[in-house]
Amino acid sequence: MTNPYATKPARAAFIDRRLAELYPVTPIPLAHKDAYTLLIAVLLSAQCTDKRVNLVTPHLWTVADNPADMALVPVAKIQGIIRPCGLAPQKAKAISELSRLIMERHGGAVPRTFTELEALPGVGHKTASVVMSQAFGVPAFPVDTHIHRLAQRWKLTAGKNVVQTERDLEKLFPAERWNQLHLRMIYYGREHCTARGCDGTVCEICRALFPGRRRAVRTRK
C-alpha cells in the first residue's frame, strides 16, 4: 500500500491537522502579563525548563516587573533571585542592561521589530521570535529543541541546524499557522515524542507518517 504521507506537503498537512485536534487551545507555557515580562521569561528559559522559570519569575516581579524599575535593581540582587534558572551571572547582567536600553532607546516599551529586539543583550533570534509571535502576533516560527527534533523525525527538514529547520518549516506551513503550530509542536514533543520516549517509531504521529519505519531516527542537535 502506498504511504499517503510520502511527500513533505502531505506530512505537513497531516501534522497541522492532527496537532490542531490534539491542542485546540494554545496557552503560552511561560507565565507573563505583558511583552516585557514575556521577554524576561523567555530569556530565563535558556537551558532551563519553563516550569522552573514559572517558579522563579513571581519572586522577580515582586522586585521589578517593568524596565524602569528593573534598570534600578542591582545586578547582584537579580542574580540571586534567578539563580535556580542557571547561567545566572550572564542572565542577570543581560536583564539589567536590556532594561536600561529599553528605557533609553525605546521609551520604556519593548521594541516590535526583530532587528531591535536582537540588538538587546541576551536576546537571540529564537527569543525575539517568541516575543514577536506571542506578544505582538507577528508570524514567526521559533525553533527549540523539541521542534528541531520533531521536524527531523517527521522528515520535514534535514535538520543540520535550527536556522535551516526554521526556514524549512516556514516554507511548509502557511504563515498564519506558525504561531499556534510552534506551540503545538512543543506540547506534542514534551508529551508524546520526547527525546527518550520516542525514537521516531513509537508515538502516534511518527507511526502514522512512517508505518514501515523499523530503525530509530538519529536527530541532530
62 lies in a domain?
yes
Whether residues 112 and 190 fall in one domain: no
The domain boundary residue, chosen from 90, 111, 134? 134
| pLDDT, position 160 | 86
| pLDDT, position 173 | 98
The domain boundary residue, chosen from 86, 112, 134? 134
| pLDDT, position 145 | 86
Whether residues 166 and 127 fall in one domain: no
Whether residues 125 and 186 fall in one domain: no
Residue 16's domain is classified under what CATH number? 1.10.1670.10
Give pLDDT tens digits for 95-122.
999 999 999 999 999 999 999 999 999 9
Give pLDDT tens digits for 170-181.
999 999 999 999
Whether residues 156 and 90 fall in one domain: no
Q: Which of 194, 182, 191 is nearest to 27 (CA)?
A: 182
Average pLDDT over residues 51-58: 98
Which DSSP category does 47 fall into? T
Residue 126: active-site member: yes
**Cell for 218?**
538519529
One of 126, 168, 199, 221 is an active-site residue; which one? Answer: 126
Task: Answer whether 48's CB lies under 8 Å from 85's CB.
Answer: yes
Whether residues 77 and 155 fall in one domain: no
One of 50, 65, 144, 199 is an active-site residue; which one? Answer: 144
Residue 130 belongs to domain spanning = 35-134
Q: Which residue has the cell 513571581?
A: 58
The structure's pTM equals: 0.93
Burial class for 98, CB neighbours closer than 10 Å (0-12, 13-18, 19+): buried
215 lies in a domain?
no
| pLDDT, position 203 | 97
**Cell for 95?**
536583564
From residue 164, give the alpha-carbon distance in Å to each of 28, 64, 87, 142, 147: 24, 37, 27, 12, 12
Residue 59's domain is classified under what CATH number? 1.10.340.30
